[in-house]
């Protein structure tokens, strides 16, 4: 009755739910590191202008 679409990576079959969760967490981590790096860079630029 229920059809789970899976992607075959070599000999391992990975379901769409698993891929979705992995993509979500990796995207979230990538964005968090990007925002953190941007804030660090911004604070370094602002501290140079205040001196």
Q: What is the pLDDT of residues 1-49, one digit of tens each?
A: 456 677 787 888 888 888 889 999 999 999 999 999 999 999 888 876 6
Residue 37: what pLDDT? 94
Q: Where are the beta strands (DSSP E) in the chain?
A: 6-9, 12-15
H or E element at residue 1 = none
Q: How far apart are CA 42 and CA 22, in angstroms?
A: 30
**pLDDT at position 38:** 93
Contact, 22 vs 32, CB < 8 A?
no
Tell me what pLDDT residue 1 has. Answer: 47
CA distances to 13, 19, 43, 47 from 50, in Å: 56, 47, 11, 5
pLDDT at site 5: 73
């Amino acid at each position: 009755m229920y059809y789970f679409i899976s992607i075959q990576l070599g000999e391992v079959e990975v379901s769409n739910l698993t891929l979705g969760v992995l993509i979500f967490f990796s995207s979230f981590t990538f964005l968090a590191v990007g925002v953190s790096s941007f804030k660090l860079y911004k604070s370094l630029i602002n501290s140079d202008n205040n001196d």
